[in-house]
Amino acid sequence: MVWSKSKERPKRYLISVGRDRLREKVMEDLWQVVDLEGSSMADEVWDALYMHVERHREMLDKSEELVPSVDMSMPDDTNVFDDVVANESYAAQEELVEEVLDEERTESRMVDSRNMFGHKGNK
């Protein structure tokens, strides 16, 4: 799987509110912030995570035991364009594969449902 020619694929983490009422309330409040700010949910989540990490850093009196300081500078890589192209082509390829698999699954289900009662087809 190609994500980038020069970098590893980034880690992903899926957040689920579940049935926790406090988390539901926090998520509702976060959506309100998104609506008020006109920003994306991803931006607001990253802002919240950044503030959380910074608060811990301050609590630990600038200790780097928890998390090293966050580098907010732009990458020096001259091949950022190549990475974007690689990412987009990989995403398009992944999407195409999913479409083909979905079509095959649908076709397989149709065949299975026709043969469900032992029918051998038209003669």
**Domain with 93 in it:** 75-123
- Whether residue 34 sits in one domain with residue 54: yes
Length of the chain: 123
Mean pLDDT split into 10-residue runs, the chain, 123 residues = 70 85 92 93 91 86 59 61 70 75 70 58 54
pLDDT of the residue at 8: 79
Decide if 121 is inside a domain: yes
- Whether residue 58 sits in one domain with residue 89: no
- Whether residue 101 sits in one domain with residue 112: yes
pLDDT of the residue at 29: 94
Decide if 7 is inside a domain: no
**What pTM was computed for the model?**
0.44
